[in-house]
Amino acid sequence: MTTLACEYRPGLEGVPVTQSSISFVDGQRGILEYRGIPIEKLAAKSSFLEVAYLLIWGVLPTASELQAFEHEITYHRRVKYRIRDMMKCFPESGHPMDALQASAAALGLFYSRRALDDPAYIRAAVVRLLAKIPTMVAAFQHIRKGNDPVQPRDDQNYAANFLYMLRERVPHSLEARALDVCLTLHAEHTINASTFAAMVTASTLTDPYGVVASAVGTLAGPLHGGANEDVMQMIEQIGAVAQVEPYVEKLLEQKARIPGFGHRVYKVKDPRATILQDLAKELFAEFGADDYYDIAVEIERVVVRHLGHKGIYPNVDFYSGLVYRKLGVPNDLFTPVFAIARVAGWLAHWKEQLNHNRIFRPTQIYIGGHDLAYTDIEERV
């Protein structure tokens, strides 16, 4: 094996770690495509499950393929009572992302066979994970309040059923469509931190439940999926449009990061933020306005005025919290909802990784000492 001369790039910034045909981002022009199709077209015309199929199997499903896929997913939505009982032992103060990570990993106890060369095993794992993750997110919401989880409803589509399980009422069609579009927009985004975690885990040929659990744990951090929760907190703290300018300027003086802004790849407004902003506007118009949408628009104006020259614009997390709030999703479930969507992308990368697998084993530049003296414990100060 040849040794390549290599430069240390913190965070592997700009270092290709795979060849992939799943998604494409042009951060300078604000373009995102899934399997070559612009995100705007998919958000307008396809359902989330259609998009998940596209990401995972590489082509848009025919009508009958989609129907069969949706049917399988509907059939597998329920989770075993032992998983529900396990969730009842979780502390109610625990973060729902931690509950989701533990529950996703626990699925592996029931279904792991690691028949990774069997397409039927791959399909069954995809179906189970897409089907059960929303059920587990909604279940923890009820369990932590001391209530029994709401059972899925087979007559509701994927997004509508999640909202039904969460809120115990059948959603308005606009609410279901809004959530479905959010899921499509969050389904995939090239080699971000959680997807890379999924790929590294997948490269060991462990089971897909472990792959997803590893990715969920990575998505949970505030520099990644956790930012939309911080955005909503910021909007709540600001409370009025007139307060935006002093609030943002104080944060900038303190050199603090404004949540929901900036992106390692996009140096213009994230195309997903543009679609989410339109969705938020539609929901606020239909279901009654409060100041939050206007506060968000004002934050964008002030932040872009100060930081636009650095390529700092709203990212996907900036308007998603507003949409989720209007859908009645509690703040600390924003990231689990992101995870429900991103399972599609993680599984697409898991499957692609298996097609050309080589275990990830990067290197390091050692900066410690060598052959140092050993000090016995009683002599250490």
By the rule CB under 6 A, 257 interacts with ligand ACO: yes
137, 92 Cβ separation under 8 angstroms = no
By the rule CB under 6 A, 310 interacts with ligand ACO: yes
Residues classed as catalytic:
263, 317
Task: Give the binding range for ligand ACO (CB under 6 A) out of 53-61, 64-72, 81-89, 311-319.
Answer: 311-319
Closer residue to ligand ACO, CB minimum distance, 310 or 361: 310
By the rule CB under 6 A, 380 interacts with ligand ACO: no
What is the number of alpha carbons within 13 Å of residue 11 lying toward its C-beta? 9
By the rule CB under 6 A, 227 interacts with ligand ACO: yes
Calpha distance 16→2 (Å, rounded):
18
Closer residue to ligand ACO, CB minimum distance, 152 or 262: 262
> Amino acid letter at 32?
L
Instruction: Tell which one of 171, 260, 271, 345 touches ligand ACO (CB under 6 A).
Output: 260
Most distant CA atoms of the chain, gap in Å: 75
Closest among 187, 194, 224, 196 to 17, alpha carbons compared: 196
Instruction: Tell which one of 78, 80, 153, 224 touches ligand ACO (CB under 6 A).
Output: 224
Closer residue to ligand ACO, CB minimum distance, 123 or 224: 224
User: What is the β-pairing status of strands 31-34 and 37-38?
Assistant: antiparallel
Contact map string, positions 181 to 220, toward ligand ACO, x by CB under 6 A:
----------------------------------------
Window 339-358: residues binding ligand ACO (CB under 6 A): none
Q: In the chain, which residue ranges form alpha helices assigned H by DSSP?
A: 39-45, 48-57, 63-75, 81-88, 96-111, 119-143, 158-167, 173-186, 193-202, 208-219, 227-238, 244-253, 271-287, 292-307, 316-326, 334-355
Calpha distance 361→244 (Å, rounded):
46
By the rule CB under 6 A, 315 interacts with ligand ACO: yes
Q: How far is the CB of 311 from ligand ACO (least distance, A)?
A: 7
Residue with the CB atom nearest ligand ACO in the bound state: 262
198: Cβ contacts below 8 Å, ≥ 6 apart: 211, 212, 214, 215, 218, 346, 349, 350
Contact map string, positions 263 to 302, toward ligand ACO, x by CB under 6 A:
xx--------------------------------------
Closer residue to ligand ACO, CB minimum distance, 50 or 230: 230
**Where does this chain bind ligand ACO (CB under 6 A)?**
223-225, 227, 257-264, 307, 310, 312, 315-317
